[in-house]
Structures are given as C-alpha cells and as structure tokens.
Amino acid sequence: MNLFLALPIAFAVGRLAERMGWLKPGAAWAASLVGGLPLWAGGIPAALTVVFFVALGSLASRLNPQSRDRSGRTAFQVLANGLPAALGIALGWPAFFLGALATAAADTLATEMGSRSRWAWHPLKGRVVAGTNAAVSGLGTLALVLGAGLFSPWALWLGVPVWAVVAGGVAGALADTLLGLAEDRFGGWSNDLTNLLATAVGGLVAQMLV
C-alpha cells in the first residue's frame, strides 16, 4: 500500500480510538505513524497486529480500577510503546516489529495485573506495595509471560519464529523493569523513555534470534 494512503487510514483509525476512549484526545497523529508505517510496510497482517496490541492494552487498563491509563493513552505513550516497532517493520524487520510489540504488551499486562498483587519486590527497596515502579510480583510476572506469548499467532502469520518473538517480549519487559529504576534516580527520566528503550531492546533481541 502507498505510504500516503496508509498514513491517513491509520489517522482515521486513531480518531476512532480517541472516540472509543482508547487514546486521549490529540493522540491520533501518533497513531497515524504507529499504525500507518506497519500498514504500508507489512500490509493488513502487520496493521491488525497493531490493532490487537492497542485493544489488548486498552482492555487491560479498563479492567483494572486502579489503572492510570483507563481514560486512554497519550500521544507520547503511543510513540514510546509503538514507534520502535513501526520503524522496525518499515526497515523490513518483522521480528523486531513483533518483539517490540510483545515487549509493550508484556509490560502493560504485568503492570495492570501485577498491581492487584498483595505485595511486590523492588530490587533496591525489597518488599513494597504492589504497583510500585520497577517492582515485580508473582502475578505480574505471569502476566508478563502471557503478554509476550499472545503474539505467537501473529508471529506465525508474519512468518517469524514464535520463540524469538516471545523471548524478545520477555527480555524487553524485564529490561523495562531495570530501566524503571532510573526514573527514581535521574531527573527528567520518564516512564515514556523507559518504555521507548525497553521496546527497542525487545525488538533487537527478537531480531538477533532469527
């Protein structure tokens, strides 16, 4: 598909996502990049993978009363979680694309489900309240693996080894936890930056394994 057709289509889908509450107002332009590049470079299968990712994350947030993202993602959240994947597929790296999305999904499910745990473990603080940044819990870890595994069918559809995608997703989500430690130590280090770097790590791991 022509890029100049794919971007407006993705923008229109982004506007629909805004109306549905999946995205915050004004985030459609970010969705046009995150969805338009895969539609252009990977066709319908890649575009539907992105839609699945967005729907999964939105559903997980809606089902968690304590979620900070129940009212939708901002444009910067969209870019942090989806732009590395979009650039990967644009460069002809479907494994990178899926590994990055699997990372974002694994991290989202780990956050939304892990916050329901009775407690969590922080690498520097020990036992903490569930939902603490950079902390891990048993429920959150299971959700992390589940989130990465949910991209197995998409890997089969796009002709990428399933194990590489799942491994990339798990590795990237674990990197997200470690990178999250920097948010408490460096001024200006945001969760969006953590997610951006972690999804890139997940994509690179998946790409190196194929």
Per-residue pLDDT of the chain (210 residues; tens, 9 = 90+): 899 999 999 999 999 999 998 899 999 999 999 999 999 999 999 999 999 999 999 999 888 877 777 778 999 999 999 999 999 999 999 999 999 999 999 999 999 898 888 889 998 888 898 888 888 999 999 999 999 999 999 999 999 999 999 999 999 999 999 999 998 888 889 999 999 999 999 999 999 999
Q: Which of 179, 199, 201, 206 is nearest to 190 (CA)?
A: 179
Helices 28-62 and 94-114, interaxial angle, to 10°?
40
Beta strands 126-128 and 120-122 are antiparallel
Q: How many domains does the chain have?
A: 1
Neighbouring residues of 44: CB distance < 8 A, sequence distance ≥ 6: none
Q: Which residues form the domain of 61?
A: 3-209
Assign 127 to helix, strand or coil: strand
Query: What pLDDT shows up at residue 160?
Result: 98
Q: How far apart are CA 78 and CA 56, in angstroms?
A: 14
Three-class DSSP category at 128:
strand
What are the φ/ψ torsions at residue 102 (nearest 5 degrees)?
-60, -35
Residue 65: CB atoms within 10 A of its CB come to: 8
pLDDT of residue 71: 76
What is the reported pLDDT for 207? 98
Handedness of CA 109, 112, 113, 119 (dihedral sign): positive
Q: What is the pLDDT of residues 180-189, one digit of tens each?
A: 999 888 888 9
Tokens representing 197?
């770097």
- Taking the C-alpha atoms of residue 47 and residue 31, their distance in angstroms, rounded to an integer, is 11
